[in-house]
Amino acid sequence: MFDKILIANRGEIACRVIKTARKMGIATVAVFSDADRDAVHVDMADEAVHIGPAAASESYLVIEKIVEACRRTGAQAVHPGYGFLSEREAFPKALADAGIVFIGPNPGAIAAMGDKIESKKAAAAAKVSTVPGFLGVIESPEHAVAIAEEIGFPVMLKASAGGGGKGMRIAHSKDEVAEGFARAKSEAASSFGDDRVFVEKFITQPRHIEIQVLGDKHGNCIWVSERECSIQRRNQKVVEEAPSPLLDPQTRRKMGEQAVALAKAVGYDSAGTVEFVAGQDKSFYFLEMNTRLQVEHPVTEMITGIDLVEEMIRVAAGERLRFAQDDIQLKGWSIESRIYAEDPTRNFLPSTGRLTIYRPPAEGAIDGISVRNDTGVEEGGEISIYYDPMIAKLVTHAPTREAAIDAQSRALDAFAIDGIRHNIPFLTAIMQNPRWREGALSTAFIAEEFPEGFQAPEPVGVVATRMAAVAAWIDYLEAKRKRTISGQMLGRALHVSRERVVMLEKQRFDVTVDERPDGVVLIGFSDGSTVPVASDWRPGSPVWEGSVADVAIAVQVRPIVNGVFLQHQGASAKAKAFTAAEARFVELMPEKKAADTSKQLLCPMPGLVKALMAAVGQEVKAGEPLAIVEAMKMENVLRAERDGTVKAVHAKEGDSLAVDAVILEFA
């Protein structure tokens, strides 16, 4: 076994690999760019080597720098993580030349699977099911219909030279094939100057299901269950799970055996993933093979108990696989959510900045329900523009799919991140989605379920009741302390009414608040129901955790003027608690029109415009940077004070501006 390995990666996956190496008693070496000087993976590793500027092309992607870092530190092997150099054939070769072991497959396997056409050929040769179709030249509409009938409807007519959806057409019947063929041909000719068209089976409502395989250098290879990754946004996976709600044991075994056949055919000798597209009828077809550790590997680990990184290291060191196929047992269900630094309410625009608050939920297992958070950032860390915006993978495991989803939802509710925008509200909303809960998935799930994008809904039903109860509980806790302030006039208890009105935005809840001797607070609602609330939450904490009506829940809490902003299960609302008298006055208050003041961004100081981030017609959100003005040798970021649309831009980069010069105007 190795004494020391280097991890040629950053962020959560570097931390993930370091954890396992440490568990195995192997010393670790991290590499870092200028932007990652203070990163978590650098702190975690036993040693760290600086490998250059922030841009990955000058640091994490430079093979010589990694090899040099190994030489300097004496690392005997390199784990590539995913991304960066993990699937570059040249990397293991360069390492081998330097006498360093690559913790991953042999270069031949990477090469064989790296090419889309070659890999399909290899798959077909290994009798792996591939998408039925006719790759030859089709002569006539009749020929096309004949092929389509052989494949089965629906089919897709595709321009051989095409791409990006152009020259593609779906046909559900003979007539549609005949008609579509002519049009596809002429479209192909005009778009690509090549009128060749081929026919392929079209999979409606496709699902993405992949098989984890594990091989060693002694010719052994097994499959380690599947993962379903159908929840994607623009081909980027968002939520993954294992096992797949679609598969039955027979299909699972068929897929697994085909995956192993393919892996064996290319001499695969590490952890890898064979990706399939599956139809709702459980038909499945080979897509591609990823010759590395997948981002979503934790869900497999959770249901099999196998540490895939450990097995990768062991087989890389020449050990034989420790498991036979029959040793692999699936236990329970696991869900993973990818936490991205992106704004779900603004078309998932990436967000960068300082993590002023980053408090993931507690990890560990309680009553058969586990929470695991694979992360590479910490509070006070910086999300930079240079790398992938994924900041954490939140994984839950429970005996059933439903319990795993509930645990995921609760863990997401308990995850506090401030300073950047992130997709947790969106992920939480997915967890509540009935179609997701049924497991009726397809890769179009997000596009179909969130056609207008995502806006956090106002709370309704039980979520609203819970929020109202939590708001009343917080108000009660704070009011109780206020009554203990020093310097009171009468020296006897203040009269405080047990009646409260909680406003969740415009929803009104008339409640009574009573504390039981055991500290549990009873919130009585006007429909006669009484909700016991208990928590050890204290002001200043961003996450309220406790029980409401005997259900353990977490609610995000942020202070606002005279109240709190609450988020729970994807919904959000401003919550304010009033006395009955106050509530009467609140009702008299007029609704505020959108602020009337300044529709202009003024230069707050004499300075030089270093950058303008807003263009005419652009929609901006409050807090979004609009311009950078340099003054006193300092860069000042000017941010939008409220949401709006840019009407006109009056300055340009390089302008020297006086105080109150108009930089841009809002509509």
Cβ atoms 7, 103 nearer than 8 A:
no
Residue number with CB closer to other proteins (37 or 127):
37
Cβ atoms 624, 639 nearer than 8 A:
yes
Token code pair at residue 541? 């904490």
- The stretch near other proteins (CB under 8 A) out of 52-60, 137-145, 379-387, 397-405 is 379-387
Of 117, 324, 385, 490, the one binding other proteins by CB under 8 A: 490
DSSP conformation class of 603: P
Strand ranges in 342-460 using DSSP code E only, listed in sequence order: 342-343, 349-350, 353-354, 357-359, 364-366, 369-375, 382-383, 390-398, 416-418
Site for other proteins in 315-374 (CB under 8 A): 354-356, 358
Of 581, 616, 622, 648, the one binding other proteins by CB under 8 A: 581
Q: Say what the alpha-carbon torsion angle 25, 31, 34, 38 is, to the nearest 10 degrees.
A: -10
For residue 180, CA distances in Å to 144, 155, 165, 644 come to: 10, 11, 15, 45
Write the DSSP assignment of 138-161 as a string of letters.
--SHHHHHHHHHHH-SSEEEEETT
Q: What is the nearest approach in angstroms of other proteins to the Cβ of residue 35?
A: 10
| Rounded-to-integer distance, Cα 101 and Cα 85, Å | 14
Task: Give the residue numbers annotated as catalytic, written as ranges.
Answer: 288
Q: What is the nearest approach in angstroms of other proteins to the Cβ of residue 370?
A: 26
> Could you say whether residue 643 binds other proteins (CB under 8 A)?
no
> Could you say whether residue 562 binds other proteins (CB under 8 A)?
yes
DSSP H or E segment with residue 631: strand 625-631
Q: What is the nearest approach in angstroms of other proteins to the Cβ of residue 528?
A: 25
Token code pair at residue 36? 């990652």
Q: Which of 657, 138, 48, 473 is nearest to 638 (CA)?
A: 657
> Could you say whether residue 379 binds other proteins (CB under 8 A)?
yes
Instruction: Report CA 482 to chain centroid distance, whole Å.
Output: 42
Q: What are phi and psi of 19, to 5 degrees?
A: -55, -50
Of 1, 605, 608, 662, the one binding other proteins by CB under 8 A: 605
Q: What is the nearest approach in angstroms of other proteins to the Cβ of residue 582?
A: 6
| Rounded-to-integer distance, Cα 618 and Cα 647, Å | 8
Tell me the per-residue interface mask from 495 to 514 with other proteins, x by CB under 8 A, - otherwise: xxx-----------------
- The stretch near other proteins (CB under 8 A) out of 61-69, 89-97, 251-259, 534-542 is 534-542
Q: What is the nearest approach in angstroms of other proteins to the Cβ of residue 78?
A: 28
For residue 342, CA distances in Å to 366, 391, 419, 428, 514 come to: 31, 10, 12, 15, 42
- The stretch near other proteins (CB under 8 A) out of 2-10, 161-169, 213-221, 375-383 is 375-383
Q: What is the nearest approach in angstroms of other proteins to the Cβ of residue 199?
A: 58
Q: What is the nearest approach in angstroms of other proteins to the Cβ of residue 652?
A: 22
Q: What is the nearest approach in angstroms of other proteins to the Cβ of residue 653?
A: 17
For residue 501, CA distances in Å to 78, 219, 303, 474 come to: 61, 70, 46, 13
Residue number with CB closer to other proteins (565 or 585):
585
> Could you say whether residue 586 binds other proteins (CB under 8 A)?
yes
Residue number with CB closer to other proteins (329 or 484):
484
Of 559, 617, 623, 654, the one binding other proteins by CB under 8 A: 559
> Could you say whether residue 378 binds other proteins (CB under 8 A)?
yes
Residue number with CB closer to other proteins (588 or 615):
588
Of 365, 494, 551, 622, the one binding other proteins by CB under 8 A: 494
Residue number with CB closer to other proteins (419 or 459):
419
> Could you say whether residue 165 binds other proteins (CB under 8 A)?
no
- The stretch near other proteins (CB under 8 A) out of 141-149, 458-466, 494-502, 513-521 is 494-502
Q: At what angle do helices 308-316 and 297-304 cross, to 10 degrees?
A: 100
482: helix, strand or coil: helix
For residue 131, CA distances in Å to 98, 117, 174, 178, 273 come to: 41, 13, 20, 21, 18
Q: What is the nearest approach in angstroms of other proteins to the Cβ of residue 379?
A: 4
Residue number with CB closer to other proteins (53 or 539):
539
| Rounded-to-integer distance, Cα 206 and Cα 528, Å | 48
> Could you say whether residue 631 binds other proteins (CB under 8 A)?
yes
Of 193, 486, 518, 528, the one binding other proteins by CB under 8 A: 486
> Could you say whether residue 37 binds other proteins (CB under 8 A)?
yes
Residue number with CB closer to other proteins (118 or 505):
505
Token code pair at residue 645? 């649309």
Give the residues across from 254 on adjacent strands: none
Residue number with CB closer to other proteins (12 or 36):
36
Site for other proteins in 426-485 (CB under 8 A): 481-485
> Could you say whether residue 636 binds other proteins (CB under 8 A)?
yes
Q: What is the nearest approach in angstroms of other proteins to the Cβ of residue 443?
A: 38
Residue number with CB closer to other proteins (80 or 361):
361
| Rounded-to-integer distance, Cα 649 and Cα 414, Å | 41
Write the DSSP assignment of 221-290 as a string of letters.
EEEEEEEEEEEEETTEEEEEEES-SS--HHHHHHHHHHHHHHHHHTT--SEEEEEEEE-TTS-EEEEEEE
| Rounded-to-integer distance, Cα 439 and Cα 397, Å | 16
Residue number with CB closer to other proteins (435 or 538):
538
Residue number with CB closer to other proteins (57 or 486):
486
- Using CB under 8 A, count the residues that bind other proteins: 54
Token code pair at residue 294? 């997948």
Of 25, 165, 249, 540, the one binding other proteins by CB under 8 A: 540
> Could you say whether residue 656 binds other proteins (CB under 8 A)?
no
List contacts with other proteins (CB under 8 A). 37-38, 354-356, 358, 378-382, 481-490, 494-497, 538-540, 559, 561-562, 579, 581-582, 585-586, 588-590, 592, 596-598, 604-606, 631-637, 659
